[in-house]
Every structure is written in structure tokens, then in C-alpha cells.
Amino acid sequence: MYIANEYQAGENRYASMKYNRCGKSGLKLPALSLGLWHNFGSKDNFDNMKALCFTAFDNGITHFDLANNYGPVYGSAEENFGRIMEHYFRPYRNEMIISTKAGYDMWAGPYGDGGSRKYLIASLDESLKRMKLDYVDIFYHHRMDPETPVEETITALDQIVRSGKALYAGISNYDGEHAAKAMEIAKELHLPLVINQNRYSIFDRTIEKNGLKKYAAESGMGIISFSPLAQGLLTEKYLKGIPADSRIARDGRFLHKEDVTPERLKQIRKLDEIAKDRGQTLPQMALAWVLRDGDVTSVLIGASKPEQITENLGMLSNLHFSEEEEKAIDAISR
């Protein structure tokens, strides 16, 4: 509940959220986590950012996911979240899982990108300052880096955890082969490398094809999926044209007008029919589908309006898929 410059979390915030154990670790994550990839940059509305975070936490979404270069501009999402943490969320820090990452381009020169010890440790120090935190709960290497030995990257994560600046380590955008190499080293070091963050949706099955999903299940590593709604394609918003406030209309960086083809719209309409038969909206079904077999710990949602978070929470009412439904979804999407 937000009143003037004060915030008091909803008393029933844990009443309906489902929490899943992250792989074989002791860490639990909410079925839905809030990603700050979009709508938390320097040009976005700060009051709306607060409303998004408060709505999430009031409904049991305890996990807030960031990265050093989320914005734009780089670092601004962490700075804005730091303002919310400092002024509103500080009393609830022990109830929250806060994650950030480094791996993609962040600052000029040869030391602001990749997977080197130099970059990862320096980046986390800067992230902690921006977010007004002493530690993060999960620190990720954001991408595979072919120019840096995986041993260097994982030992840097180990040093970070041992320093107390992160409680757990994660990797992001790794395939099954590279995740296995990372986990092998982590086990030797007794590093709690507990999670892999990857894109996964009805329309994007890459982690099934590259072995990551199978490896994670076998090794006891959790998975958290981003873009579970395929950048908005797995919603009803494009069935009647491209809305003026849609992501395509606003920037078109990650989703383009040419992605909304007649064939894709036909798929979306058929999926929407299945969702309605399940008593769900299309986005609710798409989120539930990601969690359907227990291999994925949590799905990361982005939101531009608090009502979108509230609607997405409706997926918790039906996480089961019949064999017929799974076959139909596969036939449509593949």
C-alpha cells in the first residue's frame, strides 16, 4: 500500500503466490518474478516504477531482476530501483531476492564487456552503489564469452560470493554445453551456482534444442525464463493491429512490425482459443506453459502498467496442461 511518501507492504502478500525451489539449492523463487529490463530507464516515469514494484511485492513477487546496463541509459534501472529500495523497500530487504548481472557492454574500453575477473568484480561494485545495497542475492554472468576462459569467469563469481557481495551465483544465456563446464568448476569450488537465466516461450524453444533445459534438470540447476510472452506476441494486443503504446510502436528494438506476420497472427488466434477454453487469457496460459513440467523455477515478467502484473498473476489458478493441450500448442507453435 502506497500513501504519500510512505509504503507499507500488503498484509496478505504471501497468501496466493507459489514458491519453487531453485534446482537443488535451498533458495526458493516466486513463480513470477519482476524484470526491470524495460520501463525503468532514465526517460521513464518514476511514479510508475514505484507502482510496478509495490504491486509486485504486495502480491508475493519477492524477486526483482536487473542488470548493470538496463536502462537506457546504462545503469539507470539500477539507480531507479536503488531510490525505491532506499526510500520504500528498506524494511523489507530480508524478504526480497534482488539479482543483477554483468557480461554485455557497459562502459568504454576493453574492460567493460565480457567475462573477465576485472569486469565482473568492478561491475558488481558499481551496481551495489547504484542500488544502495550491501549485497545482491544472485549475481549473474550475463552471457557466454568465447574470449575469456570459463575458469576465470567462474572463479571470479566464486570470489564475489566468498566476499559476501552476492549470496548465490548464476549464469545467463548459456547453452547446455557451457553450463555443464561452468557447473563442473563450480562444484570443485563449492560455489552455489544455482540458476541459469534464458529466453524461453511457446514461440522460442532454444533451450530445448541446445540441451540447456535437459542439463539443468539433470544437474539440479534452476532455470528462470525471460521473454516468456515473446516480447508481447503471446498476448491479444496485436490481434487488431499495432497499438500506439505497444513496444513495437515505441521503439522497435527487440520486436519489429515485420514480426507480426499473417502466419504469426493465425498462430496467436489459435493459441488464444486454447487459453479461453482453459479459463485463462493468452498471456496467463503462456506463462503457465513455461512452468508446466517443473523444470523452470520462475518466469520473468516485464510490465509497463501495474494492471499487467495483476493480470499475469491469474496464471497461478491453472498451471496444469492436459496431454491434448500440450500437443495442440506444439502443433500450432512449431
Domain boundaries, the chain: 2-232+282-321
Does residue 1 have a pLDDT over 60? no
Q: How many C-beta atoms lie closer than 10 Å to residue 145's C-beta?
A: 19
> What is the pLDDT averaged over residues 40-60?
98
Kindly state the percentage of the chain with pLDDT values over 70.
94
239 — pLDDT class (breaks 50, 70, 90): confident
Name the pLDDT band for 12 (thresholds 50, 70, 90): very high
pLDDT at site 5: 63
pLDDT digits (tens, 9 = 90+) for 296-317: 999 999 999 999 999 999 999 9
| 50 confidence band (pLDDT: 50, 70, 90) | very high
The vertex-166 CA angle with 144 and 135, nearest 5°, equals 130
E strands within the chain?
2-3, 6-7, 19-21, 28-30, 32-35, 63-65, 97-102, 136-141, 166-172, 193-199, 222-226, 298-301
Q: Is the pLDDT of residue 277 over 70?
A: yes
d(CA 69, CA 64): 15
Q: Which residue has the cell 524495460?
A: 38
Across the chain, mean pLDDT equals 94
Mean pLDDT of 87-108: 98
What is the C-alpha to C-alpha distance for residues 229 and 61, in angstroms, rounded to an integer?
A: 18
CA 272/CA 23 separation, integer angstroms: 31
User: What backbone phi and psi angles, to 5 degrees, belong to 56?
Assistant: -60, -55
Q: What is the mean pLDDT of residues 73-101?
A: 98
Residues 317 and 310: their CA atoms lie apart, in Å, by 13
Please tell me the predicted confidence (pLDDT) of residue 334: 83
pLDDT digits (tens, 9 = 90+) for 120-176: 999 999 999 999 999 999 999 999 999 999 999 999 999 999 999 999 999 999 999
Over residues 14-42, the mean pLDDT reads 98
User: Yes or no: is domain 2-232+282-321 CATH 3.50.50.60?
Assistant: no
| Cβ neighbours of residue 246 closer than 8 Å, sequence gap 6 or more | 232, 237, 238
Local confidence band at 265 (pLDDT 50, 70, 90 cut-offs): very high
pLDDT confidence tier of residue 2, bands split at 50, 70 and 90: very low
The predicted pLDDT at position 313 comes to 97
pLDDT of residue 77: 98
